[in-house]
Amino acid sequence: MTRTVSDEQTAREQALIETVVASFAETPDPRLRELMQALVRHLHAFVREVRLTEEEWDAAIAFLTAVGHITDDKRQEFILLSDVLGISMQVIGVNNEAQGDATEATVFGPFFIEDAPEIPIGGDMAFGASGEPCWVSGSVRDTAGNPIPGARIEVWEADEDGFYDVQYSDGRTAARAHLFTNDDGHYDFWGLTPTPYPIPHDGPVGAMLEAVRRSPMRASHLHFMVTAPGYRRLVTHIFVRGDEIGWKDTVFGVKESLIKDFHRHAAEERTPDGRQPGGPWSDVRFDIVLAPAE
């Protein structure tokens, strides 16, 4: 809705912006000064564009307060908010410019934890989590095609009920692990066939999504974080081709290059490592290319 603002009122508002921006002029760190002054300009521009009411600003403060109150060491509601607003993906895009055929990055998500257990190549990262077994294999190489031995691969995912281990109250560690590539840059492990699930929507971010009639559902995915000395850290997912959520992923994380074919197999089909999974299983290949560190 367009609202007419008098010249006098416009001048007053602009004068306040200039005063606040100037208040950061003596900031010793030039980058911090740039960030704070740009933040002021953009926030004030938003307030002026929508003619924000005092009641709306109070509601925004209450919302952010609620986001803070629900955040703890196992649930990061601020990351969730950043994700559903597309800010996480925008920051990732800005900081992961294309380099050759380097694998594309996507959102980190709120459920990564440090010190996941190590598994050997061919190991099982499910640790009893419910779901269909999935054989994941691939390689880690540089943009010239050379294998990267000893690359650390962190993997984590939700179980078939749509929950990560940290969302349970029993302290379990499941469906997460780390492993290292071999001398040829190869890796493989058993995980779970990814399934769609909702982001936690019992808090303020969920209430916001409900108010704007947006789904909390995430496309089926498996998380990866890959690190190696001399290379840019890669945080990414792989997604299931044909997934029912697909491009409607609520955190905007899906990229065409990360959509993979998960091949389904009957229980009696032989697995690559001779395992007997006792039921249907799947397999997927994900070849990873790391960009050089800048």
Average pLDDT over residues 179-194: 98
Average pLDDT over residues 85-111: 91
Q: Per mean pLDDT, which range of 34-38, 94-98, 207-211, 281-285 is the poorest?
A: 94-98
**Residue ranges of domains in the chain:** 7-52, 80-290
How many whole angstroms separate alpha carbon 227 and alpha carbon 38? 33
How many whole angstroms separate alpha carbon 121 and alpha carbon 293? 26
- CATH number, domain 80-290, options 3.40.50.300, 2.60.130.10, 2.60.40.1230, 3.40.50.150: 2.60.130.10
Q: How far is CA 75 from CA 12, 64, 92, 146, in A?
A: 42, 15, 21, 38
1 has pLDDT over 70: no
pLDDT of res. 78: 93
Element (H, E) at 264: strand 263-265
How many whole angstroms separate alpha carbon 17 and alpha carbon 20? 5
195 has pLDDT over 80: yes
25-44: per-residue pLDDT in tens?
999 999 999 999 999 999 99
Cβ atoms 274, 126 nearer than 8 A: no
How many whole angstroms separate alpha carbon 148 and alpha carbon 290? 9
**pLDDT averaged over the chain?**
95
pLDDT of res. 267: 95
Residues 6+ apart with CB under 8 A from 52: 46
Q: In what order do the strands lie in the sheet with 234-240?
A: 176-180, 152-156, 221-227, 234-240, 259-260
**What φ, ψ does residue 283 adopt, rounded to 5°?**
-145, 155
Q: Is 136 helix (H, G, I), strand (E, B) or coil?
A: strand
Tokens matching residue 134: 């999935």
Q: What is the pTM of this model?
A: 0.87
Residue type, 274: G
Tokens matching residue 248: 């409607």
10-21: per-residue pLDDT in tens?
999 999 999 999
Output the CA torsion 132→135→141→144 (10° steps): -100
238-275: per-residue pLDDT in tens?
999 999 898 999 999 999 999 999 999 999 999 999 99
pLDDT of res. 76: 87
Tokens matching residue 53: 């009411």
101 pLDDT band, cuts 50/70/90, is: very high
Show the CA angle centred on residue 257, arms to residues 223 and 265, nearest 5°: 65
Give me the percent of the chain exceeding a pLDDT of 70: 99
Average pLDDT over residues 210-219: 96
73 pLDDT band, cuts 50/70/90, is: confident
Question: Which ranges in the chain belong to alpha helices (H)?
Answer: 7-22, 30-50, 54-70, 77-84, 87-95, 204-211
Strand partners, 260: 240
